[in-house]
Amino acid sequence: MSLIAVTEVRKSFGSTEVLKGINLDVEAGEVIAIIGRSGSGKSTLLRCINGLETITDGSISVAGAQLIDDEVHLKALRLKVGMIFQQFNLFPHLTAGGNVMLSQTVVKKTQKAEAEATARTMLERVGLAHKFDAYPDELSGGQQQRVAIARALAMQPAALLCDEITSALDPELVAEVLAVVRELAAEGMTLLMVTHEMKFARDVCSRVVFMHQGRVHEIGRPEEVFANPQTAELKQFLGVS
Ligand code: ADP
Ligand code: MG
């Protein structure tokens, strides 16, 4: 059974349909890149999988549990699926460690000592064990994004959704964040990432999804999608003819 099953998902905002019947099955341990033009529905799809948006039609299940549109189910879903955004959204008045501890103590009601131990472990995983007591404004953008990854990992999610997590970073800081993601992939984490990093997608991802106008327009292994695009739209997006 797939870890994430997206079946005929539709999403409208008012009278505008932005997801037009999405089907996508993600196996545990898969690393999937989602590419496509701005406005094609990539963020909306991730937000639906994470339960941040309610879907208009179709179904989504994560680890066998159906996403049903009520608060209890949405909360359970958000615990299973971590999400990381372009903006790191760390609390400025909390240290790196405090940021990683917060959702554990608030959402999961984890005891403080255990939350702190987990925070230390997760910060170590992203190479920031020594920054436990540093405040966000004492960290580079790349380090802040790594804290955000540690914060998501601390909830022990079954999958991580990443929405353009390197797009707000200065070019010299992109590599350190991608290195962390690459390591998570190697450890078997299930990852769904919207990205413009085509080289990374080619090297690390098992499949690439090309979205166009609210649909999965092409999907395949990176060597197929990049070297042998089938549709005019993907050729144009990749800048090949
Ligand atoms: P992408 O991430 O591929 O750039 P999005 O999923 O952000 O695309 O957006 C897809 C479409 O949905 C866009 O036309 C966008 O304007 C629209 N959209 C996204 N969120 C909302 C919202 N909350 N209300 C109305 N329209 C939205
Ligand atoms: Mg987006």
Report the C-alpha gap between 80 and 36 in whole angstroms: 26
Q: Is 43 in the pocket of ligand 1 (CB under 6 A)?
A: yes
Take residue 99 and report the two structure tokens written for it: 């940021």
Three-state DSSP class for residue 56 = coil
| Residue range 182-208, pLDDT digits in tens | 999 999 999 999 999 999 999 999 999
Residue 19 belongs to a domain = yes
Residue 66 belongs to a domain = yes
Same domain, 112 and 210: no
Take residue 159 and report the two structure tokens written for it: 């999958």
Same domain, 226 and 187: yes
The Å distance, Cα 74 to ligand 1 centre, comes to 21
ipTM field: 0.98
Helix (H) or strand (E) segment spanning residue 10? strand 4-13
Mean pLDDT of the 211-230 span: 97
Domain boundary among 138, 156, 174: 156
Residue 85 belongs to a domain = no
Q: What proportion of the chain, given as a percentage, has pLDDT over 70?
A: 95
The Å distance, Cα 111 to ligand 2 centre, comes to 35
DSSP 141-186: HHHHHHHHHHHHHTT--SEEEEESTTTTS-HHHHHHHHHHHHHHHH
| Residue range 6-61, pLDDT digits in tens | 999 999 999 999 999 999 999 999 999 999 999 999 999 999 999 889 899 999 98
Please give the residue range of the domain that contains residue 192.
Answer: 1-80+160-240
> Would you state the pLDDT for residue 68?
64
Residue 20 belongs to a domain = yes
Domains: count for the chain = 2
Which residue, judged by its Cα, is nearest atom 15 of ligand 1?
39
Same domain, 13 and 111: no
pLDDT at 67 over 90: no
Query: Where do we find the tokens 């230390």?
Result: 120
Mean pLDDT of the 214-232 span: 96
Nearest ligand atom owner, CA of 237: 1
